[in-house]
């Protein structure tokens, strides 16, 4: 007989399992108590494992929800072969990665087999491939793509979030600086000292785009230089033509000034050293355009300034390529906002600085669309792609993409001055500068430089159209430079 220390009963030795480690060669507990003891140990182990798993699940959930904690290989359901195997987790990471790769290979084999079977079924006339593919394999492939994207882009996403925060802070600081240092810099004279006379039956439209101020085309390698003097004289000549346009109707005329992008050279072309330093280009814009706007506001009872960005004024950090979303978020928005602050004392000037890439302007019931033309609306060369462009504009009207049907459009970008009296009417503006090195190498030569000016009245959003051509004659005209004076930084 032998006493079981667990139940306290004396039982035959045959009720005890053998165990060579015990002095008498038998287990301490009887068989019944031994099974209970093993079950208790299993339950205790399972409880500990459940608690550990709960802690790991909570930690995993915290990592997945965090924007800062690095993800572990255990956070993925599928292949993570690109996880570095370093440090104390090397063995665990290696085992996890090997297991994930094995699972990936097995799943890809299932996918290949399923595709083969689905193709054979389709060949036999039994549905198509998609209908015969198991849904769970599609789910696996979807999770694989999403998790690989999540893993690869996590650091990038965090960088973008930080850049977005810095960008928002920079915008707020720029607005505060503009309000403090730029506000009211344009002195009101003439009509600008009085409130705007609303309801004018005539509108003179001056379209300014592709000025490329600060381009700094040197006479050393360009047939026609375009530097501080040339850009100021050409711009002043355009402004003078607007001032001299039908002065007999001036008291009943408002001015619509369209600033339609690429007003500075920017820094995005094939040579990043093209043009003056970007900060200098911005100051050049404010100096020249504040002088031009002050003179126009003096001469017209009412002035509306409509602003759209181009591609040369974009921020290359925000938009390395063409800006197809949040196009306004670039250098030219700062230029327009700063100029509007400089004009705060001009009583007769109002502003329309849109966030969308297309501005809608009402001209006595007719709708004028204003966009630079590099991304919206998607257009091609005004000559070789004329039919495709017309079809694109017709689709915009047919679908009312922008909420209205347009009677006329004003575009920049192409440096090809064209007026197409179709429906809707289309004006492609020219450029202020002569062809630069890139334009010449691409064969873009022979187009006149200049800007468009036209009149709008009720029923005629584009009436008397004039193209103000500029060139060497204006570059050499020393009488120009009194209204718009050249500017560059001096060392």
Q: Read out DSSP for 343-368?
A: TTT-TTEEEEE-SSSSEEEEETTEEE
Distance in angstroms (rounded) separating the CA atoms of residues 177 and 169 = 12
Contact 415, 399 (CB under 8 A): no
| DSSP β-ladder status, 253-260 and 302-308 | parallel
Mark whether 54 and 92 lie in a shared domain. Answer: no
What stretches of 187-227 show up as alpha helix (H) in DSSP?
none
Across the chain, mean pLDDT equals: 88
Torsion angle of C-alpha atoms 144, 147, 150, 153, degrees rounded to 10:
-40
Question: Would residue 79 count as lying in a domain?
Answer: no
Q: What pLDDT, on the 0 to 100 scale, is given for residue 82?
A: 47
Which CATH number does the domain housing residue 319 bear? Answer: 3.60.21.10
Return the beta strands (E) in 268-415 as ranges.
302-308, 349-353, 359-363, 366-370, 408-411
Q: What pLDDT, on the 0 to 100 scale, is given for residue 19?
A: 83
Q: What pLDDT, on the 0 to 100 scale, is given for residue 68?
A: 58
Question: Would residue 170 count as lying in a domain?
Answer: no
Q: What residues in the chain have per-residue pLDDT under 70? A: 67-93, 96-97, 100, 129-130, 143-164, 269-273, 491
Torsion angle of C-alpha atoms 268, 271, 275, 278, degrees rounded to 10:
40
Mark whether 130 and 11 lie in a shared domain. Answer: no
Mark whether 234 and 106 lie in a shared domain. Answer: no
Mark whether 15 and 124 lie in a shared domain. Answer: no
Q: Per the structure block, which two tokens stand in for 177?
A: 């600086």
Residues 6+ positions from 254 with CB-CB distance below 8 Å? 196, 197, 200, 202, 203, 204, 300, 301, 302, 303, 304
Question: Would residue 176 count as lying in a domain?
Answer: no
Q: What pLDDT, on the 0 to 100 scale, is given for residue 479?
A: 95
Question: Would residue 423 count as lying in a domain?
Answer: yes
Question: Would residue 73 count as lying in a domain?
Answer: no
Q: What pLDDT, on the 0 to 100 scale, is given for residue 437?
A: 85
In percent, the amount of the chain with pLDDT more than 90 equals 58
Mark whether 291 and 419 lie in a shared domain. Answer: yes
Domain limit, last residue, from 162, 195, 210? 162
Mark whether 158 and 204 lie in a shared domain. Answer: no
Q: What pLDDT, on the 0 to 100 scale, is given for residue 113?
A: 83
Mark whether 188 and 317 lie in a shared domain. Answer: yes
Q: What confidence tens digit (pLDDT) does each residue in 39-68 have? A: 999 999 999 999 998 998 898 888 777 755
Mark whether 146 and 188 lie in a shared domain. Answer: no
Domain limit, last residue, from 132, 162, 192? 162
| DSSP β-ladder status, 349-353 and 202-208 | unpaired
Sign (positive or negative) of CA dihedral 24, 30, 36, 39: positive
Question: Would residue 169 count as lying in a domain?
Answer: no
Contact 261, 311 (CB under 8 A): yes
Give the residue numbers spanning the domain of 36.
2-64
Q: What pLDDT, on the 0 to 100 scale, is given for residue 79?
A: 46
pTM: 0.70
Mark whether 147 and 197 lie in a shared domain. Answer: no
Question: Would residue 489 count as lying in a domain?
Answer: no
Question: Would residue 81 count as lying in a domain?
Answer: no
Give, for 177, the enclosing helix (H) or strand (E): helix 135-181
Mark whether 130 and 218 lie in a shared domain. Answer: no
The tally of domains found in the chain comes to 3
Domain limit, last residue, from 112, 127, 162? 162
Distance in angstroms (rounded) separating the CA atoms of residues 210 and 410 = 13
């Amino acid at each position: 007989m032998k006493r079981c220390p667990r139940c306290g009963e004396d039982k035959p030795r045959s009720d005890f399992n053998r165990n060579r480690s015990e002095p008498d060669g038998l287990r301490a507990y009887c068989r019944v108590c031994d099974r209970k003891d093993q079950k208790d140990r299993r339950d205790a182990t399972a409880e500990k494992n459940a608690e550990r798993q709960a802690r790991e699940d909570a930690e995993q959930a915290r990592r997945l929800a965090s924007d800062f904690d690095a993800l572990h290989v255990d956070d993925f359901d599928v292949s993570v072969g690109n996880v570095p195997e370093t440090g104390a987790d090397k063995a665990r990471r290696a085992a996890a990665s090997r297991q994930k790769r094995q699972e990936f290979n097995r799943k890809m084999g299932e996918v290949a087999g399923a595709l083969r079977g689905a193709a054979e079924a389709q060949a036999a006339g039994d549905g198509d491939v998609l209908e015969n593919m198991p849904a769970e394999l599609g789910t696996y492939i979807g999770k694989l793509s999403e998790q690989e994207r999540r893993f690869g882009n996590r650091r990038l996403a965090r960088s973008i979030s930080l850049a977005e925060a810095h960008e928002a802070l920079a915008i707020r600081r720029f607005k505060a600086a503009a309000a403090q240092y730029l506000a009211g810099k344009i002195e009101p004279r003439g009509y600008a000292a009085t409130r705007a006379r609303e309801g004018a039956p005539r509108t003179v439209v001056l379209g300014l785009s592709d000025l490329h101020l600060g381009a700094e085309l040197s006479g050393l390698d360009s047939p026609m230089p375009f530097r501080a003097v040339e850009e100021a004289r050409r711009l002043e000549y355009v402004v003078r033509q607007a001032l001299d346009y039908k002065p007999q109707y001036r008291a009943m005329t408002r001015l619509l000034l369209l600033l339609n992008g690429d007003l500075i050279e920017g820094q995005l072309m094939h040579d990043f050293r093209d043009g003056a330093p970007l900060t200098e280009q911005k100051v050049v814009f404010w100096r020249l355009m504040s002088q031009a706007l002050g003179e126009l506001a003096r001469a017209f009872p009412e002035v509306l300034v409509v602003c759209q960005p181009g591609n040369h004024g974009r921020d290359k950090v925000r938009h390395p390529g063409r800006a197809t979303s949040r196009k306004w978020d670039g250098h030219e928005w700062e230029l327009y906002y700063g100029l509007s602050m400089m004009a705060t004392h001009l009583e007769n000037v109002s502003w329309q600085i849109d966030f969308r890439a297309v501005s809608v302007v009402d001209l006595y019931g007719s709708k004028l669309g204003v966009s630079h033309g590099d991304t919206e609306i998607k257009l091609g060369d005004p000559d070789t792609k004329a039919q495709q462009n017309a079809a694109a504009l017709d689709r915009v009207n047919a679908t009312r993409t922008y909420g209205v049907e347009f009677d006329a459009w004003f575009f920049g970008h192409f440096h090809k001055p064209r007026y197409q009296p179709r429906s809707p009417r289309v004006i492609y503006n020219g450029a202020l500068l002569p062809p630069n090195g890139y334009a010449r190498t691409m064969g873009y030569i022979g187009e006149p430089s200049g800007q468009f000016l036209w009149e709008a009245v009720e029923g005629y959003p584009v009436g008397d159209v004039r193209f103000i051509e500029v060139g060497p004659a204006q570059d050499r005209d020393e009488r120009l430079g009194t209204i718009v004076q050249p500017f560059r930084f001096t060392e």
